[in-house]
Amino acid sequence: MFNKEKTNGISDKIGNSATLISEGTNLQGDVKSENDLRIDGTIHGNVISSAKVVIGPTGYVEGNIHGKQADITGKVNGNITVMEVLQLRGESNVQGNIHAATLQIDPTAIFNGQCQMGAVPASVVVMSTVDEQTAEAK
């Protein structure tokens, strides 16, 4: 009735799906995604997304975050670089530097670091600890 075109049960929005890292999940290493990413668990590594990164209230990232947009409610120990809007909500706790086109911070959010606002360079290279050790060995 509402959807005149039938897709045989397959959603037309498969390309817009989000990835969820649920509470209780602990990942070691970098996470890369082309879709929206929601983190309610723990990641020890860098998070890179060409879409939106959401850190939920139970989420914790120990590493750098790079994305198109970010919405932080949990904890981040690392630098955050977003191309558009970065939102630090509620009880969020960010220990690191921020580079964003636009920044919104709730009064109860905690942020310790430096902030640079304005156009973000499209190509930001993020080196992991392994890459740094390899570069030093050469």
Q: Residue 61 domain-assigned?
A: yes
Please compute, for residue 61, the number of CA atoms within 13 A of its CA located in the half-sphere on the CB side: 33
Q: Give strand pairing partners of 98.
A: 80, 115
The answer to whether residue 16 scores a pLDDT higher than 80 is: no
Question: What is the average pLDDT across 11-30?
Answer: 79
Range of the domain at 51: 16-137
CA torsion angle for 36, 40, 45, 46 (degrees, to 10)? Answer: 30
- Is 2 inside any structural domain? no
Is 74 inside any structural domain? yes
10 inside domain: no
Give SS3 for 132.
helix
pLDDT in tens, 61-105: 999 999 999 999 999 999 999 999 999 999 999 999 999 999 999
- pLDDT band of residue 17 (cuts 50, 70, 90) is confident
> Would you say residue 3 lies in a domain?
no
Q: How many domains does the chain divide into?
A: 1
**Dist. CA 35–CA 128, nearest whole Å:** 21
Residue 1 lies in a domain: no
CA-closest candidate to residue 62, choices 95, 100, 35: 95
5 is a domain residue: no
Query: pLDDT per residue over 97-136, tens digit each?
Result: 999 999 999 999 999 999 999 886 665 444 445 555 445 5
Q: Which helix (H) or strand (E) holds 130?
A: helix 129-137
Q: pLDDT at position 7, please?
A: 45
